[in-house]
Amino acid sequence: MVERVTTLMSQPEQIRNIGIVAHIDHGKTTLSDNLLAGAGMISEEIAGKACWMDSDEEEQARGITIDSSNVSMVHEYEGKEYLINMIDTPGHVDFGGDVTRAMRAVDGAVVLVDAVEGTMPQTETVLRQALKEGVRPVLFVNKVDRLINELQVDEIEMQIRLGKVIDKVNKLIKGMNEEAYKNGWKLDAAEGTVAFGSALYNWAISIPFMKTSGVSFKDVYDCCKAEDMKTLAKSSPLCQVVLDMVVNHLPDPPSMPRSVVYQSSGSTETRRPKKVSQCSTVTPSPACLMVTDISFDPHAGEVATGRLFSGT
């Protein structure tokens, strides 16, 4: 895996830097865990249960995410391998700074919404943070199992409710950045920028996936009603549907025009703030790294993880 990741690191068009954002408890860490398991990075047995991405003791005890964690995995799409660098962010309002920092390190975001609760105040906040940083969103409507098993909605009602979540998120995007909305950032289930599913039970569907696989809304409804999640996880794997959506609809780093302002040390002249645009490793430019996390490794000492905007 390390070898595959290292090879892909030098092929920017085959990289997707993504963040998972949502209101508290909508299922970000469960989704991140199961994506990692699906990509073969952690055991399926522990995914979502021990919340591998919530590795901190306090996170485990409180069942919430406090620090953003980042991981890498490889996903194959149409015969080509892609490197997915993913940041799981906290949903609690107190850790909003972590979300902003994460958004500066990614190009795309998977916005999660609990199908039962719908959009909540933090959904709006994290979406605003993403759009402000020029990060493109796709939508994952999570906990669809709860609609059927807890709210006992029928198949038609299920589809109506899912449609309402998409409309609400689109209304938010339009209100926050109408230009981006009109230029293709409007979420559209038919186009494949929306997926539905259950992060906990490890299944997902999207309209493009339904067309190629033959799995229908009725199949989903029937399986959930019969509490047969294992069949769904096999016929419609979460990892495949969500990461296909990520590869297909979220941008690679070279196609995201970003720039950062930096200030060097030294004389007054060199200290004047300068701007570097989109990572160019070809022409010599100063190394500019947006640090997203600092951790301690017993062998390496302090390790900063971040996004390189320019230089090497």
Ligand X SMILES: Nc1nc2c(ncn2[C@@H]2O[C@H](COP(=O)(O)OP(=O)(O)OP(=O)(O)O)[C@@H](O)[C@H]2O)c(=O)[nH]1
Q: Which residues would be at the binding site for ligand X (CB under 6 A)?
A: 22, 24-30, 51, 64-65, 90-92, 142-143, 145-146, 198-200
Tell me phi and psi for residue 106, to 5 degrees: -120, 170
Cβ of residue 52: shortest distance to Mg ion, in angstroms?
Answer: 11
Q: How far apart are CA 232 and CA 306, in angstroms?
A: 36
User: Which C-beta is closer to ligand X: that of 93 or that of 294?
Assistant: 93
User: Which C-beta is closer to Mg ion: that of 26 or that of 249?
Assistant: 26
Any residues with CB less than 8 A from the CB of 174 and at least 6 apart, and which?
Answer: 181, 186
- Residue 206 near residue 245, CB atoms below 8 Å: yes
Tell me phi and psi for residue 52, to 5 degrees: -55, -35
Cβ of residue 209: shortest distance to ligand X, in angstroms?
Answer: 17
249 binds, among Mg ion, ligand X, none (CB under 5 to 8 A by kind): none
Tell me phi and psi for residue 3, to 5 degrees: -65, -45
Give residue number: closest CB to ligand X.
91
Q: Residues in the site for Mg ion, rule: CB under 5 A?
A: 28-29, 65
253 binds, among Mg ion, ligand X, none (CB under 5 to 8 A by kind): none
Cβ of residue 285: shortest distance to Mg ion, in angstroms?
Answer: 36
22 binds, among Mg ion, ligand X, none (CB under 5 to 8 A by kind): ligand X
| SS3 annotation, 21-80 | EECCCCCHHHHHHHHHHHCCCCCCCCCCCCCCCCCCHHHHHHCCCCCCEEEEEEEEECCE
Any residues with CB less than 8 A from the CB of 197 and at least 6 apart, and which?
Answer: 140, 141, 142, 144, 203, 204, 205, 236, 238, 241, 242
25 binds, among ligand X, Mg ion, none (CB under 5 to 8 A by kind): ligand X
User: Which C-beta is closer to ligand X: that of 25 or that of 244?
Assistant: 25
Cβ of residue 203: shortest distance to ligand X, in angstroms?
Answer: 9
- Residue 309 near residue 19, CB atoms below 8 Å: no
User: Which C-beta is closer to ligand X: that of 116 or that of 308?
Assistant: 116
| SS3 annotation, 236-297 | CEHHHHHHHHHHHHCCCHHHCCCEEEECCCCCHHHHCCEEEECCCCCCCCCCEEEEEEEEEE
Cβ of residue 1: shortest distance to ligand X, in angstroms?
Answer: 24
Cβ of residue 117: shortest distance to ligand X, in angstroms?
Answer: 11
- 289, 294, 283: which is closest to 308 by C-alpha? 289
User: Which C-beta is closer to ligand X: that of 24 or that of 308?
Assistant: 24
Cβ of residue 143: shortest distance to Mg ion, in angstroms?
Answer: 14
Give residue number: closest CB to Mg ion.
65
User: Which C-beta is closer to Mg ion: that of 17 or that of 30?
Assistant: 30
202 binds, among ligand X, Mg ion, none (CB under 5 to 8 A by kind): none
Cβ of residue 50: shortest distance to ligand X, in angstroms?
Answer: 11
30 binds, among ligand X, Mg ion, none (CB under 5 to 8 A by kind): ligand X
User: Which C-beta is closer to ligand X: that of 177 or that of 198?
Assistant: 198
User: Which C-beta is closer to ligand X: that of 68 or that of 177?
Assistant: 68
Tokens read off for 260: 């950062």
